[in-house]
Amino acid sequence: MTNSIEATGNHKTIPLWVLWLLVSVIVMLDQYTKLLCTQYLERGVPHTIFAGFDLLLAFNNGAAFSFLNGAGGWQRWLLSGISVAISAVLVVWLWRLPRQQRLLAVALAFILGGALGNLYDRVVMGYVVDFISVYAGQWRFATFNVADAAISCGAALLGLDILVNGVRHG
């Protein structure tokens, strides 16, 4: 058995190294955009790119949607531990994934890349850097980052895989 995700029919093979490359690109893109935003944006001051889309630097000490944001510091290590555990499960899952499950493999790579990008922030700085702000009128969605977007895309692909291929056992 090789470490590649083989396709059935006319599809090409996705070697496992390509998935690790995808994870790495997501982490690097996430960290680079966060670095640029922390260097050039002022915290809390929106910079409109176009109507409905701002760059808005924010630091999130909590989890998604700022859950546990004001918990006093202990959440940093709890959330880091959860991220490490989930990342380890995803690495093993990707490594052992049957070769024909390409869509699932890409979904897991997106989720892993996003999880590692945010984990780095949380461990090194104690908070996650967010900067993407979308809105309509007075309604504003939670500020997020490239890692969050990758996790969301991965979750959508995971859902699509379940719809297309069903839940696999074994």
User: Catalytic amino acids?
Assistant: 130, 148
DSSP letter at 17 equals H
Residues 6 or more apart in contact with residue 129 via CB below 8 angstroms: 34, 37, 38, 57, 58, 59, 60, 121, 145
Q: How far apart are CA 68 and CA 136, in angstroms?
A: 26
Nearest CA to 84 out of 76, 72, 95 is that of: 76
Strands 14-15 and 53-60: unpaired
* Token digits of residue 2: 């090789």
Residues 6 or more apart in contact with residue 120 via CB below 8 angstroms: 27, 31
117, 151 in Cβ contact below 8 A? Answer: no
